[in-house]
Structure 1
Amino acid sequence: MSTTPTVVLIHGAFADATSWSGVITELQGHGIPVIAPPNPLRGLASDAAYVASVAAQIDGPVVLVGHSYGGALITVAGVTENVVGLVYVAAYALEEGESLGELQGRYPLSPLVSNLKEWTYPTPGGESAVEVTIAEDAFPSVFAADVPAEVTKVLAAAQRPLAAAAFEEKAAAAAWHTKPSWALVAAADEAINPEVERFGAKRAGATVVELEGASHAVAVSRPKEVADLIRDAVRATS
């Protein structure tokens, strides 16, 4: 069994696992085992259960890394026994019993909220549920202002929607109470108010790095700095 933790990268809403590509390259270049599974984006409880199941099936220790909504998932899934550390990347760090909407509501809403487009999708019971994406014309400024325009156009077209119900579900646990945490604050984030990121990180007692000028898509625009923080967590938990 390896003593070097496996890094599990959990993407957030409006993105997919390829958003971690630059970070994965950096980590692999340092010999760190890493996987980036798909995030279902269907609801806090069910998505966190999926992340926990991925972590539990890995031999040896795991460092969970969550971007954006993925931070809420690692907060809950992080109670899994072999998880040894949590890394929040421009992410939500919830308290037990708290929802995304409640945490966001502590501070002025970001431009993301007024630029969401609603869609519907069928549920197993035959009813329709609501999911959201970012309006394509607003996507560059809201999500990825420091990413080249030609890349942003592709990211906007390839968005994966988040079930709207995820904003109201409450976290069943907060693993940062018992697991060490690290956090990267994207200081120019227009999708999550940076104050929300700072508040959650401070409350969790996280080791914090703040990147000036970094957009919400910081893993795409600044992969080395993101990977450096993850490496710090790996070294500290090895």
Structure 2
Amino acid sequence: MKTQINIAKLTIAAAAVFLSTFNPKNSMAQTAPAVKNIVIVHGAFADASGWEGVYRILKKDGYNVTLVQNPLTSLNDDVAATNRALEKQDGPAVLVGHSWGGSVITEAGVSPKVASLVYVAAFAPEVGQSTLDVYQSGPALAKNGILPADKNGLVYFDKALFHECFAADLTEAKADFMFDSQQPIVGSSFVAPLTQAAWKTKPTYGIVATMDKAINPELERAMYKRAGAVVTEVKGSHVIFISQAAAVARVIEAAAKNGSEKK
């Protein structure tokens, strides 16, 4: 049975409170579900295990976290792996990408399951651009640790430059472990043009790793500006998700809490 309320008998002040309380817009805002799902896409020369620190923080704070293990065999294959992870989510998700993973989330992020995007020292290409196109559009780095493709078409990061250019703020022992366990990427992945750019329609956040020597921080700033991203600058190397896990987790949680409308 519906309760009948005679507003005419209420005082003006009480009526104002009543109308404010039952305003449909207010009611919708109060009942809108928070984004609780986080899907993380790692970059080249690494795998998802490096995200354990961020994972533990997000889990402690009540989020459901899925870590995609990219095959790193092509852009399409990595996008497909990400889409499979998104399809398993029981609601909207924040889609996070690091480095090469930024290209992957740019393409996969058009999924209706994606509420917002977070780029972590990551590429954010335009439609028709490849990752290599974007990389070459920015200021050149003093050193480049990405080796030419080997006879199998696989690209590795140079051992001599791995610590300095990829993981400078980690211990040498940790960097050595990451080098020895690195996941190579099929070189043709870098020249595949994107057909979608999810940052055009999805709320976007970008983390600039100010000590990055794998992607120029100036290029990160330029890509994020083009994407209309909310930008956070954090002092750290290319693997900032390891060295500054708490700062990275804070940005991801901000994306989860701030809605799904592109501003």
TM-score (normalizing by structure 2): 0.83
1:189/1:203 CA distance change after superposition, 3 Å: same
Report the residue type matching 2:194 in the other structure: A
1:34 deviates by 0.5
Report the residue type matching 2:163 in the other structure: P
What is the aligned counterpart of 1:26 among 23, 33, 57? 57
1:87 aligns with 2:82: no
1:9/1:114 CA distance change after superposition, 3 Å: closer
1:109 deviates by 2.9
1:223 aligns with 2:255: no
Task: List alignment gaps of at least 5 residues for structure 1.
Answer: 122-129
Considering only CA atoms, is the larger Rg found in Structure 1 or Structure 2?
A: 2
Distance 2:53 2:151 in 1: 32
Distance 1:206 1:53 in 2: 26
1:182/1:88 CA distance change after superposition, 3 Å: same
Distance 2:138 2:237 in 1: 18
Larger CA deviation: 39-48 vs 59-68? 39-48
**Residue 104 of structure 1: aligned partner:** 135
**Residue 109 of structure 2: aligned partner:** 78
Structure 1 vs Structure 2 CA RMSD: 1.5
1:87/1:166 CA distance change after superposition, 3 Å: same
Higher-RCO chain (CA-CA 8 Å, sequence separation at least 6): 1
Report the residue type matching 1:27 in the other structure: L
**Residue 175 of structure 2: aligned partner:** 152
1:3/1:231 CA distance change after superposition, 3 Å: closer
**Residue 182 of structure 1: aligned partner:** 205
Distance 1:104 1:112 in 2: 13
1:36 deviates by 0.6
Tell me the alpha carbon deviations over residues 123-154 of structure 1, each in whole angstroms, 9 at most, x when there is no partner: xxxxxxx1111111210001000011111110
- The 8 Å contact of residues 43 and 163 in structure 1, kept in 2 or not, is answered as yes
Report the residue type matching 1:207 in the other structure: V
Report the residue type matching 1:139 in the other structure: F
1:102 deviates by 1.0
- The 8 Å contact of residues 111 and 191 in structure 1, kept in 2 or not, is answered as no
Q: 1:134 is paired with a residue of what secondary structure?
A: coil
1:4 deviates by 3.0
**Residue 39 of structure 1: aligned partner:** 70
Task: List alignment gaps of at least 5 residues for structure 2.
Answer: 1-32
1:225 deviates by 0.3
What is the aligned counterpart of 2:192 among 162, 169, 176? 169
**Residue 231 of structure 2: aligned partner:** 208
1:10 aligns with 2:41: yes
- Tell me the matched-pair count: 228
Report the residue type matching 2:133 in the other structure: E
**Residue 68 of structure 1: aligned partner:** 99
**Mapping 1:117-156, distance limit 5 Å:** 118-121=149-152, 130-156=153-179
What is the aligned counterpart of 1:48 among 69, 76, 79? 79
Q: Spell out structure 1 runs of 4+ moving beyond 2 A.
A: 2-5, 108-115, 117-121
Distance 1:164 1:112 in 2: 19
Distance 1:156 1:114 in 2: 12
TM-score (normalizing by structure 1): 0.91
